[in-house]
Amino acid sequence: MRFVIAYEGLLNVASLNLERAAEIRKMPVAFLKEDGEVEFVSEVPAISGVMLKHWHFRNLVELSREDNDSLCLFCNRLEAIRIPPRSVQDYYNTSYGGTEKELIEKCVGEDVHGFLVTEEKESLRRESCVRFSWAIGLPRFSDEYRRIMIVQHTRNISKIPLDAPEELRRLQMPYPRPYASDFYGFVSIADLSRIGISYTDNLEGIDQNTRKMRQKNTILAYGRMLQGEIGANLSRSLPASTPLTVFLAASKRGAIPAPIHPIYPSYLSESTKLIENAAELFRDELRVRIYAPYIDQSTKNHIISLLGEDPFVDDPYTGLRHIIDFLGL
Ligand SMILES: [Zn+2]
């Protein structure tokens, strides 16, 4: 079982890519224009895959807690330390177990998002079952207005007595924050079949009901990301956000590839074609759902003819529900 997603949306006035004090992430990108010509863009704003994966992790932990799934000390605190060294485990009087099977039984975080044991002579590693691209400012839009505004915020203290310690005066200060507005896109893959299976214990699995619950929550954890909860500084600059297109697909045997990244203009119909043909080649059962309120009618008709059914939904959440029903989760 595999679930894949491509998101394209407008995220206005945010500092989602602020990963360190004042460092806004930007990346050079190369992309293909509609006519096949390649263009290099020196810098577009970009939110790292690490950041996206972190927000998926947080959503997964919160959903899992609601369902009384097992969580380790750090994941339960929304801290993605997978796995702390033994001295730290001892300090907190907690234990993670020794085998991959024990580790994934004890925590959905280690199971779905992977881990690395870093003791001196011992090494045990589990690859993440979810993968994220970077969220990239779409290079097909002109960068004429693409800029980052530095805003000086100020913290004021209403009264500073003459005999107050100097530190109090220093607490009153201006501090800069960069903000940007852009169209962003990202893709992600969730290998649902790998959840709850230990690869270093002869493919032994955890309890079947827990496994299904984790597979479902892994899909649901994408839900809140669709409104821009995917980066830094959300408490003061939750993006003025709207999703433009959300492409969702799942297959039972898991043979489908990742969708084409939304930086490519025709990604919706190209992704549909690619995924439909892969499913046919591998004799895989497929379901596609697309939220795309602004798509033109001819592209829409083309996609419907490729799939032989109408995959369009009025909102992304209905699409996620159809995917979960299709997978029997
Ligand atoms: Zn954990």
pLDDT by residue, tens only, the chain of 329 residues: 999 999 999 999 998 988 776 677 888 988 888 788 888 888 888 999 999 999 999 999 999 999 999 999 999 999 998 899 889 999 999 988 889 999 999 999 999 999 998 777 788 999 999 999 999 998 777 677 777 788 888 888 889 899 999 888 888 888 888 888 899 999 999 999 999 999 999 999 999 999 999 999 999 999 999 999 999 889 999 999 999 999 999 999 999 999 999 998 889 999 999 999 999 999 999 999 999 999 999 999 999 999 999 999 999 999 999 999 999 99
Distance from Cα 252 to the centre of ligand 1, integer Å: 27
CA 75 – ligand 1 centroid, Å: 4
Tell how far the Cα of 115 is from the centroid of ligand 1, in angstroms: 9
Query: Which residues, other chains included, contact 2 with Cβ-Cβ below 8 Å and sequence gap of 6+?
Result: 189, 190, 191, 192, 193, 250, 251, 254, 255, 256
78 C-alpha to ligand 1 centroid (Å): 9
- Distance (Å) from CA 219 to ligand 1 centroid: 18
Tokens 């993006």 correspond to 239
What is the 39 CA–ligand 1 centroid distance (Å)?
A: 42
Q: Which residues surround ligand 1, an ion (CB under 5 A)?
A: 72, 75, 107, 109-110
Compute the distance from residue 70 Cα to the ligand 1 centre, in Å. 8
> Ligand 1 mean position to 102 CA, how many Å?
12
Q: Quick one: DSSP state of residue 194? A: G
Task: Give the dihedral of Cα atoms 6, 9, 13, 15; nearest 10 deg.
Answer: 0
Cα 104 to averaged position of ligand 1 atoms, centre (Å): 8
CA distance 148 to 164: 38
Give the closest residue to 289 by CA, choosing from 314, 264, 258, 256: 314
Alpha carbon of 214 to ligand 1 centroid (Å): 13
CA distance 114 to 26: 27
- The confidence score (pLDDT) of residue 127 equals 96
Taking the C-alpha atoms of residue 318 and residue 38, their distance in angstroms, rounded to an integer, is 36
Q: How far apart are CA 320 and CA 325, in angstroms?
A: 9
The whole-number pLDDT of residue 174 equals: 85
CB atoms within 10 A of CB 251: 23
- 97 CA distance to ligand 1 centroid (A)? 12
- Are 242 and 9 in contact by the 8 Å Cβ rule? The answer is yes
Question: Which pTM was predicted?
Answer: 0.94
pLDDT of 173 reads 84
CA of 212 to the centre of ligand 1 (A): 18
Determine the pLDDT at residue 292. 97
Supply the pLDDT for residue 146.
77
Distance from residue 24's CA to the centre of ligand 1 (Å): 29
Distance 2 CA to ligand 1 centre (A): 23
CA of 73 to the centre of ligand 1 (A): 7
Preceding omega of 83 cis (within 30 degrees of 0) = yes
